[in-house]
Structure 1
Amino acid sequence: MSCKITGSVLPMSGSPGRVFIARLAGIAVFDPAGDQVGRVRDVVVALRLAPRPPRVLGLVVEVGPRRPVFLPITRVTVVEADAIVFDGRLNMRRFHKRESETLVIAEMLDRTVRFRASGEPVSVVDVAMEPTRTRDWLIGKVAVNRGRRGGRGRGLRRRGESLVVDFDAVEGFSAVEHGQGAAGLIAAFERMKPADLAGIVHELPEKRRTEVAVALDDERLADVLEELPEDDQVEILGKLEDDRAADVLEAMGPDDAADLLGELPTEQRERLLTLMEPRDAAPVRRLLTYADDSAGGLMTTDPVIVAPDATVAEALAQIRNPDLNPALAAQVYVCRPPTATPTGRYLGTVHFQRLLREPPPTLVSGIVDAELDPLRPTMSLAAVAMFLATYNLVAGAVVDEDGHLLGSVTIDDVLDHLLPEDWRETVMDASAEAPSDPEEEALRGGEGTR
């Protein structure tokens, strides 16, 4: 679906043409025909010697799954609250930040700078770009917060003052800062899917990557870790305190946590497992006993399980959980109590489509598919893949010799292991075969000293 975009440059804070950059994160980018080509990820600027404000070079636009490209600011024709329009020319070469360049959202937000006149430290909340008469864009304003301070009179504490100042009123953007926060960056990308945020985290410098990981809550960090290459996972987990690392592992799926722990030295792995809650550590320990490329090593121990006396309505209520992996939500497994893995006797599977065809009061035990033999935990990766392909399934039950359900293998985990080991890095790092863009090279070349 496409739409026509009309309008003029977005007015912000009462000043026509002023655009606060954090608000651009995630907004759609359209070509002149009104077709969406991607979304804004960041803004690229070149810091210059004071008192000259940074010059805006362009936008980082994500045009496909994890493919950021550079859009020169000279090609942007319209900036609106919910859309950016450019002239239609876009080089599909993957964006790589140069040493002379700075990413506003990834590197400037949350930075501690100082007022040039008083030396008072303040935290950067946002920065604003403004057009000039020559059609350049410069960073003209900085939104800062002085933090908390004590109130008077009633003895109350209040939030510090937030204010917008000229860029040349502060200093410190070019200095290396240790312990920089990440709240602003995270807020800018809070609506991103974990896989997309993982792409951004992967491309950050190691210092900034650690700061973002520390600032994310446990659930969000767990989701992002599951989408990162193994090297990034190990690096980030190693930068967390052990108690925090254990909490994040608890928030991950048991199969993903087991895969990550399997990459760690034995001593570190055992230390983290000991710090985890016993109910969370137990399934991870079981998974670690299986070979990585077996059904037992591939499975998750948290599929959707119902008792024989559950109704169709109750089964549907469980798979409506928005946090549930779509592959896991495609079927429920019917088992006698206990219904936590390893379960009582496995009776069979009821697929989502069958649930939709039956009246809500129907018992799942009456519609269970018991004809298909389940997977065994020792089955090889190739055998599991052939099983799913033969029966057109997105997941399969894993059952031991005594008939207890141990877990479920989903198609995404099979693909993860069938693809080359470095497939995540390839997706995140591969560059498109595109020629150099003379206008882009001219815009980005030598800007740090202009």
Structure 2
Amino acid sequence: MTDADVAELKARVCDAIDARADDIIEFAKDVQSEPELGYKEVETTKKVVSLFESLDLDVETELAITGARARVGGDGSDDEFVAAILGELDALVNPDHPLADPETGAVHACGHNAQLAHLVGAAFGLVEGEAIDGLDAAVEFVAVPAEEYLDLDYRRNLVESGEIEFFGGKQELIRRGYVDDWDMAVMMHAGSDEPDRVVTSNFSTNGFIGKFVTYLGREAHAGAAPEEGVNALNAAMLGMNAVHAQRETFADEDYVRVHPIITRGGDGVNVVPAEVTMESYVRAKTIDAVDEANESVNRALRSGALAVGGDVEIEDFPGYMPLSTNQTIVDAYDDNVRELLGEEALSPGQPHLAGSTDMGDITQLVPGIHPWTGGFEGAVHARDFRVVDEEMAYIVPAKLTACTLIDVLTDPESREKLREAKAEKRTREEYLDAVRGFRATETESHLD
């Protein structure tokens, strides 16, 4: 395919997305108006499916309780090249956000509704722009559940009942084999405090372990006979202070972050707390750094129980793997940013972000990118997060992703580089062995 052919194909796709711009924006607002938490995104999935079906796509649902996917193009052979476009279905919890659901506190304060707009927008462009036949590859559009790592008691119940193994939706897709034949994966993310038309495409993120911690003591009358009790809240406070004492030992280059919360602090002010529960993440730039920091954190948490003579149980669950972007896709993506927005729109941003995403798990198996795009005001997850440029938030990312796929999929050299990059990554079995290695439970007892 000549450069002129590629340019004409990209123009058709962008025109098709522009023709659907009002529908894409309306869809994004509709998703925003009905936020749902992870593995509960029933209505949001239906909205995505409705638009996929309007394109006459065959849609598979209930990928991991919720979720949907549709594949177009390709020849169905075992060796066909497959490019996946992803969007995340779930909201997060921030009851103070003006758009939060009054009952659940759920709100799209991380821009996942924009991700879904980008997903369906790219589908409109590639299908209605009649680009698929020119790509000699399959394109899979995937609406993924449960990226936000929260509502953990609910997800733990799902694990215990055998409905899922992992808290993260992309981890579940990997486990169930949906990612096996992908050769590349692309998505986008809302930029934090980034109202301008800028894009950052090349960076890494932390991985993490998720933790449940339970301290057990002995209840007693807090006023009349506190000496007869064992105060589990004191154990938790001592454990957290011991964690804080570890912070100066974490190397700066490891980007370690530990941020516990107490989810149950006692049952009554006049009763010595006999059970206190906590949740936390231990994040770091590399898997080795996560393991090392987690060992220090667990040692510190155990010290709280020892100090008061109580018990502690520490449950570690697989969090997310570090994100690693692929340079071949980044180069194509950045070229399209230049074409659509100009050179000044490319922002180098920070080379490493201390947050986490389960897109990191995808990039352990498949070459991928996870660009941050502008059009958003306020920090992600905060009460003031909002869209201030609808075209940049919802329309431009769809064009960037669709055009990037056209560039990569029509270039044999790029496809070969991506196949080579995938061959160097983990297999599904290797990935599962690694992530399951994060799962552990340890207990320590000092109660008489």
Normalised by the length of structure 1, the TM-score is 0.23
Structure (1 or 2) with the larger CA radius of gyration: 1
Normalised by the length of structure 2, the TM-score is 0.23
Richer in helix (by share): 2
Relative contact order (C-alpha < 8 Å, sep 6+): which is higher? 2
